[in-house]
Every structure is written in C-alpha cells, then in structure tokens.
Structure 1
C-alpha cells in the first residue's frame, strides 16, 4: 500500500505497480468468484475477471434477459453459468451485484450459502450501511468487503478493453479470516481498477448517493435544463441552445478537464471565457452550496435510502420509472441532442 499526497492530504492507495495482476491471481488461486447479478456492474466485473485469468462463475435467474445476455457473453450453462443458488453454493467469494432493491429481495436466499470463511463482496455500501432498513446483516464468520468502481460497469469494461482502468474505492466491513485485505486488493486489481483508494462502507454510500444526485447526474441535468430553457426563451434555436449547453461541454471542454484539470482547460479557452468563468463560478458555488448541504443531510439521515426502498418496492415502479425516463428522452433538449449526435462526423 502506498501513501499518496492529494492536495496536501495523505491517503492510502493501492496501485497496479505494487499489487500486480500476477500477485492478485496468486492470492485468489484457490477461490471461486461467483458473480450474482448480471445487470449494471455484473457484466463488466465478471468479464474483466475472466479475461484476467480468475476462476469466475455467474449466478443468474434462468429464462431472463440477463441470463440470455450472460450466454451471449460466453458464459456456459453448467460450467460457468448457474442459477443463483447453485452459484452461491459453489462460490467462495460471492460478489453481490444485484441492484439495491434486488439485494434486499434475495437476501434470505443468499445468506444461506454464506458459510464460514467465505467472502461477501459489494460494489455499493447501501445494503450494509442502511441494514436496519434493508435487513442485510451478514454472519460474523465471513469477510465482508467492497470494491466500488467510480463509474458504470460499461465504462469499466470499455476502459479495460482499451488497456486503461477505472479508479475504485475499497473497504473492509468485516475481517473474519484475516485475509480480507489481500482478498479485496486482489479483487480490485482483478476487476480492472486504475488504482484503489481506501474508504468505509458508510463513506462510500454517502459520497455515492450525493454524487449521483449531485454533479454526476441530478445537478448537471438540472443545470442543462435551466440554461437550455433560458436560451430558448430568449429566441435561440434548439440547435444553438443544445450546442452551447451540452455538446460543447461533453465533446470538448470536459475532455480538456479530464486530460489536465480545470485550470488547464481555462488556459486553453479565450480570455473572455476565462474571465467570465472565473467570476461567475463564485455565484454558482454560493447558490448551490445550500442545496448540496441539504442533499448530504438527506443521505446521511437515511431519508434517501427510505425513499429509494419505498419506491422500488412498489409493484408499478418500473412502469413509473419508464414514464419519467420517457419524459426526459422526449424533451425538446434531448430530442435535439439525438439529432445533433446523428450529425457528428463518422470516423
């Protein structure tokens, strides 16, 4: 483990240099990794582990779309693809990668197979942190660990295939075997992480729920909507409003930030843009700071977990969700975006 200075604060991180793939394989050479769930995180993590040479099986419901997806990805029924209970029985490490709602629903089934010495692996701290609401309380004689890639399973897989990596946090909730640390580090490297940084289950879920509702999804969509609506109100065309609100951000500026940071992006924009951005950032920070504080408090109090669990437990939740997503998809801004994307030059 290396100690790295991040802006004056030291943190423990694990890199591929100090924990190479060969070491990860050695640590897990006698383990069977059972991936339970093949939806958002499951495919990327399972395929990366398989390609990296680990012993991986997938557990999924038969006669489902995700079962068919697993078959299409090369998992073979009876060899590397099993129903959920059989996979849980075979696995020494159970990667519990169902949705939060799915984890709650299946917990009574999965916990029967959590025998002494096994490891229960999460990619989100939700079920454990809010255990009073989820009912997910692991037995005391197993390891409970977490690897949380900082992005979607699709991104994890794409970066892996490109020879890159997606940074992940790691946490140990319970070390019953004395091997939890080496297990979690090996799994983090195995799934294709760029580097691993240390956290706790609670901190992971607090930061994750805040980020998803904030700058990663909720806040950015809200800002997009506000600016697009204003430009349209002031007589700008849909194409102009979308390009100035979304396209330039996603196709140009954010890539410059990713390459070298915000200051470098500013330095590579016009002096007019620099001056305006430097001045107005303070107004936006002060305007949104109370909203972010309210959001974090809602997460930490368990209110967001309660809302999520209640919504997902409704029998018509999927139908309601699809309507909300359709409203977003069919809005003028994102219909304009569909056309703009179609007009991008093809390589």
Structure 2
C-alpha cells in the first residue's frame, strides 16, 4: 500500500504497479467469484474478471433479458451461468451487484448461502450502512468488503477494452478470514481499476449519494436547465443555447479538464473567458453551498436512503420513472441535444444539410 499526498493530506492507495494482475490472479486462483445481477455493474465487472483470468460465474434469473444478455456476452448456461441460488452455492466470493431495492428482496436467500470463510462483495455501501432499513446484516464468519468503481459499468468496460483503468474506492467492513485485504484488492485489480483508494462503507455511500444528486447528475442537470432557459428567454436559438450550455462543455472543455485540471483550463482559455470565470465561480459556489450542505445532511440522516427504498420498492415504480424520464427526454433542451449529437461529424449522414435545415422544426 502506498501513501499519496494530496495538498498535505495523506491517503492510502493501491496501484497496479505494486499489486499487478499476476498477483491478483494468484490471490484469486482458488476462488469462484459469483456475480449476482447482470444489470448496471454486473456485465462490466464480470467480463473484465473473466478476461483477466478469474474463475467467474454469473447468477441471474432464467428467461430474463439479463440472462439472455449474459449468454450473448459468452457466459454458458450450466458452466459459467446459473440461476441465482446455484451461483450463490457455488461461489466463494459473492459479488452482490443487484440494485439496492433488489438486494433487500433477495437478502434472505443470499444470507443462507454465506457459509464460513466466504466473502460478500459490494460495489456500494448502501445495504450495509443503512442496515436498519435494509435488513442486510452479514454473518460474523464471512469477509465483507466493497470495490466501488467511480463510474458506470459501461465506462468500466469501455476503459478496460482501451487498456485503461477506472479508479475505484475500496473498503473492508468485516475481516473474518484475515485475508479480506488481499481479496478485496485483488478483485479491484481484476475488475479493471486504475488505482484503488481507501474509504469505509459509510463514507462511500455518503459521497456517492451526494455526488449523484449533486455535480454528477442532479445539480448539473439543474444548472444546464437554468442556463438554457435564460438563453432561450433572451432570444437565442435552440442550437446556440444547447451548444453554449452542454455541447461545448462535454465535448471540448471537460476532456481537457480531465487531462490537465481546471487551473490549466483557466490558464489556457481566452482572456475574456478567463476573467469571467474567475469573477463568477465563487458566486456559484456561495449560491449552491447551502444546497449541498442540506443534501449531505439528508444523506447522512438516512432520509435519501428511505426515499429510495420506499420509491423503488413500489410495484408501479417503473411506470412512474418513465413519466419522470420523459419529462427530461421531451424537454426542448434534450430534444435539441439529440439533434446536435446527430450533427457531429462521426454521426452525420449524407443528408446532414437537410437535418440542419430541419433543426428548429425538430426541437420547437
């Protein structure tokens, strides 16, 4: 384990140099890793482990879309693809990658297969941290840990195929065997992490829920919508409004920020943009700080978990979700976005000029 210094604050991290794939393969050589759930994180983690030489099987309901997807991805029924109970029985490490609501429902089945010496692996601290609401309390004689990739399963898989790695956090909740550390780090390397940084279950879920509701999804959509609305109300076209609000950020600026940092971006933009950004960023910080404080306190108090469990467990959840998603999808801003994306050079068809002429008609 290495220590990195972040502005005077030291953190424990594990890199692929100090814990190479060969070491991970050695640690996991006698394990059967059972990936339960083949939805958001399951495919990326299972496929990356498989291609990294780990003995991985998938547990999924038969005659489901996820079962069919696992088959199409190369998992073989009766060999590396089983119904959930059989996979639980065969696995020595149970990767519990169902949704939070589904984890609650399946927990009694999972628990009975957690025999001494096995390991229970999460990619989210939700079930353990909020166990008074979820009922997920593991037996004392199994290892319990998590590896949480800092991105979607799709990104984890894409970066793996590109020879890159998606950074992940790791945490140990329970070390029953004395091998929890080497098991969790080996799994973190096997799923394709760039490097692993240490956390605990509570901090992981608190930061994750705050981030999802904040700058990763909730806040960014709110800021996009506000700026787009102002530009449109002042007479700017849908194309101009969307490009200045979303397209330039996501396609041009954020990749450069990811590579070099925001300080580099400020130093290398036009002097007009530089002056404006320096003058306005603290105003946005001060305006949103109370909202983020309220958000974090709601997460820490368990209120966000309660809302998620209550909402996601209702039988009509999917129908209500579709209504809310349609509000985003059918908004002028994201209809404009669909058209703008179609006009990117890599997506253009021969009739792109007709598409451009029809732009206003398509989004208004």
TM-score (norm 2): 0.95
Find the aligned partners of 1:316 and 1:109 in 2 and give their Cα distance: 24
- In structure 2, distance between residues paired with 1:315 and 1:275: 52
Cross-structure match for 2:272: 272
Alignment partner, residue 158 of structure 1: 158
For 1:262-341, what aligned pairs fall within 5 Å after superposition? 262-341=262-341
Do residues 140 (structure 1) and 143 (structure 2) align?
Answer: no
Aligned partners of 1:277 and 1:240: how far apart in 2? Answer: 20
2:24 corresponds to 1:47: no
Question: Gaps spanning 5+ residues in structure 2: where?
Answer: 348-364
The corresponding residue for 2:251 is 251
* Alpha-carbon separation, structure 2, partners of 1:64 and 1:102: 15
Partner SS, residue 306 of structure 1: helix
> CA offset at residue 267 of structure 1?
1.8
Q: How many residues align?
A: 347
- Is the partner of 1:53 in helix, strand or coil? coil
Query: Cα RMSD between the aligned structures?
Result: 0.6
| Secondary structure of 2:315's aligned partner | coil
CA distance in 1, matches of 2:73, 2:331: 34
- Partner Cα separation in structure 2 for residue 303 and residue 173 of structure 1: 22
Instruction: Report what 2:92 is aligned to.
Output: 92
CA shift, 1:142, in A, is 0.1
* Correspondence for 1:110: 110
Moved more, 262-271 or 38-47: 262-271
**Separation (CA, whole Å) in 1 of partners of 2:73 and 2:228:** 40
1:11 match: 11
> Structure 1: which 5+ runs fail to align?
none
Deviations 1:193-232 (A, max 9, x none): 0000000000000000000000000000000000000000
Question: Hey, what's the Cα distance between the residues in 2 that align with 1:69 and 1:327?
Answer: 29
The separation in 1 between residues aligned to 2:193 and 2:264, in whole angstroms, is: 26
Shift of 1:293: 0.1
Residue 60 of structure 1: CA displacement? Answer: 0.2
CA distance in 2, matches of 1:6, 1:152: 25
Shift of 1:326: 1.1
Q: Which residue of 2 is the match for residue 56 of structure 1?
A: 56
Q: 2:231 matched to 1:227?
A: no
SS at match of 2:346: coil
| Moved segments of 4+, more than 3 Å | none
Give the SS at the match of 1:346.
helix
